[in-house]
């Protein structure tokens, strides 16, 4: 393992100052970063421990939303009463992830920035455009079963592996960020990137910046929401395909809907085509299926992950059916 320095930040400002030097990384729960250090995937010179910084807790906002500090642990966020009542999809997404021990350590900020679980990215003896630009993507002709089907590029088919961000994407969360030049923020759909020709960057977070908080705008029908995760074992596995959805139905007609898919793309995938296709439609299995087909028409799977198209469709249709009050 490469030797590195460690320092404990005393303020956001001091952390940002340290992060101004290239080769510096913030350390939150460490559940992803430390693994990647051991594997030699991340090789920082300096770790800035931000665990003692106060990014705030979980606060209700005036519009019925929530403001969540970057240091809030996944376990605490999942257990929060406001989260569970206003946005059950978020609590469910969090609880579907990792294990109890990991969730106790994992922070809101670190969770958003967890790296892909593509096995090629995590194995430094193999090429990977994300880790080693220009070296190639062996996943495309190789073991691609778990990888992306939407928004992929010829250079990378990695997925964002997380669950929380999928729920936050359905909710259109705002990521608040601080930099040496002052604070800024991103709508979550603008925060995550598609791989394109530069898969090295997962997000548009500026170099040396810190995530300070996540804001969820109010969503009146947020309470009618859920999160489903299809995976290779019943717990402690990343999703093959996941669905975060909230549904607003009046008189058997879809008034509004929010859908995001996980496990299918380099970013949590807001299913805007499906959403658009559903608004104003009758609540029937047929409209759900048509919406799923419309969203997935753009999928470009490999032979190994072609099943994800059918899986995503069934998952999406089943989840909407459940939210519409159908028999589970």
Partner 1 sequence: MSIDAPAVLGEPIPRLEGRQKVTGEALYAYEYRADEVLYAWPVQSTIVTGRILRLHTDVVLAMTGVVEVLTHLNAPKLADGDDGELLVLQSDRVAYRGQVVALVLATSIDTAREAAAALDVDYQNDGLDVELSAEHPKLYAPEEVNAGFATDSEQGYVDAAFATAAFTTDEVYTTPALFNNPMEPHATLAAFDGERLDVRDSSQGTSSVQQTLSTMFGLDPANVRVRSEHVGGGFGSKGSPRPNVILAVMAARVTGRPVKIAYTRQMMFALAGYRTPTISHVRLAANADGRLTAISHQSYTQTSTIQEFAEQVAEPSRHLYAAPNRLMTHRLAALDVPTPRWMRAPGEAPGVYALESAMDDLATVSGIDPVELRIANEPDVDPESGTAFSSRNLVGCLRRGAELFGWAERDPRLGIRRDGRFLVGTGVAAGMYPAMTSASGARVRALPGGRYELGVNATDIGQGARTVMAQIAADALGVPVSAISVDLADSTLPKGPVAGGSSGTASWGWAVTKACERLRSELAAGAPVPPEGYEVEVETSVDVDAMAPLARFAFGAHFVEARVDLDSGEVTMPRMLGVFAAGRILNARTARSQFLGGMTMGLSMALHERGELDAVLGDYANHDLATYHVAANADVRDLRVEWLEEEDRQLAPMGGKGIGEIGIVGTAAAVASAVRHATGVKVRDLPIQPDRLIGQLPPRFL
Residues that contact partner 1, how many (by CB under 8 A): 43
Residues numbered 211-240 forming contacts with ligand FAD, rule: CB under 6 A: 211, 238
Question: By CB under 8 A, is residue 120 in contact with partner 1?
Answer: yes
Beta carbons within 8 Å of 244's beta carbon, 6+ residues apart = 89, 93, 166, 167, 169, 170, 171, 225, 226, 227, 258, 259, 260, 261, 262
Give the strand pairing for 225-231 and 210-216: unpaired
Question: By CB under 8 A, is residue 4 in contact with partner 1?
Answer: no
Question: By CB under 6 A, is residue 146 in contact with ligand FAD?
Answer: no
Helices and strands per DSSP (H, E), number in the chain: 12, 12
Beta carbons within 8 Å of 37's beta carbon, 6+ residues apart = 1, 2, 4, 43, 44
Binding segment for ligand FAD (CB under 6 A), chosen from 61-69, 161-169, 193-201, 286-294, is 161-169
Q: At what angle do helices 307-323 and 285-296 cross, to 10 degrees?
A: 140
Beta carbons within 8 Å of 179's beta carbon, 6+ residues apart = 16, 206, 208, 209, 210
Question: By CB under 8 A, is residue 8 in contact with partner 1?
Answer: no
Helix, strand or coil, per DSSP, at residue 287: helix
Q: Which is nearer to partner 1, 250 or 328 (CB)?
A: 328
One symbol per residue from 177 to 216: x for binding ligand FAD (CB under 6 A), - otherwise; what is it? Answer: ---------------------------------xx-----
Binding segment for partner 1 (CB under 8 A), chosen from 61-69, 249-257, 271-279, 305-313, is 305-313
- CA distance to 142, 160, 193, 218, 316, per residue, from 226 (Å): 34, 20, 25, 16, 11
d(CA 172, CA 149): 22
Confirm if 158 and 121 have CB atoms less than 8 A apart.
Answer: yes
**Binding site partner of 217, from ligand FAD, partner 1, none, Cβ cut-off 5-8 A by kind:** none
Tell which one of 85, 124, 154, 184 touches partner 1 (CB under 8 A): 124
Question: By CB under 8 A, is residue 232 in contact with partner 1?
Answer: yes
- Site residues, ligand FAD (CB under 6 A): 25-33, 35, 50, 70, 97-98, 102, 105-107, 109-111, 113-114, 162-164, 210-211, 238
- Site residues, partner 1 (CB under 8 A): 1-3, 40, 117, 119-120, 122-126, 138, 141-143, 145-146, 228, 230-238, 240-241, 285, 307, 310-311, 314-315, 317-319, 321-322, 327-328
């Amino acid at each position: 393992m490469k030797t590195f320095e460690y320092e404990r930040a005393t303020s956001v400002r001091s952390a940002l100052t340290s992060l101004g030097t290239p080769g510096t990384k913030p350390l939150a729960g460490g559940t992803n970063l430390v693994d990647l250090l051991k594997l030699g995937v991340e090789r920082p010179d300096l770790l800035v421990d931000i665990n003692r910084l106060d990014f705030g807790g979980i606060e209700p906002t005036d519009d019925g939303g929530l403001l969540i500090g970057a240091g809030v642990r996944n376990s605490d966020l999942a257990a929060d009463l406001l989260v569970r009542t206003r946005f059950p999809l978020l609590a469910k997404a969090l609880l579907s992830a990792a294990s109890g021990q990991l969730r106790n350590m994992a922070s809101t900020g670190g969770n958003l920035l967890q790296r892909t679980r593509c096995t090629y990215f995590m194995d430094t003896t193999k090429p990977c455009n994300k880790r080693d630009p220009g070296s190639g993507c062996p996943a495309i002709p190789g073991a691609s079963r778990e990888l992306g089907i939407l928004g992929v590029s010829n250079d990378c088919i990695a997925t964002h592996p997380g669950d929380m961000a999928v729920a936050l994407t359905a909710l259109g969360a705002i990521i608040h960020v601080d930099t040496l030049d002052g604070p800024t923020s991103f709508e979550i759909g603008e925060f995550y990137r598609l791989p394109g020709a530069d898969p090295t960057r997962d997000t548009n977070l500026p170099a040396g910046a810190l995530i300070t908080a996540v804001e969820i705008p109010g969503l009146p029908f947020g309470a009618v929401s859920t999160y489903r995760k299809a995976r290779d074992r019943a717990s402690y596995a990343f999703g093959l395909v996941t669905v975060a959805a909230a549904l607003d139905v009046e008189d058997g007609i879809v008034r509004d809907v929010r859908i995001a898919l996980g496990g299918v793309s380099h970013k949590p995938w807001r299913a805007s085509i499906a959403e658009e296709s559903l608004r104003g439609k009758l609540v029937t299995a047929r409209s759900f299926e048509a919406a799923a087909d419309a969203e997935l028409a753009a999928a470009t799977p490999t032979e190994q992950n072609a099943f994800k198209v059918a899986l995503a469709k069934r998952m999406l249709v089943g989840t909407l059916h459940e939210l519409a009050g159908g028999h589970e």
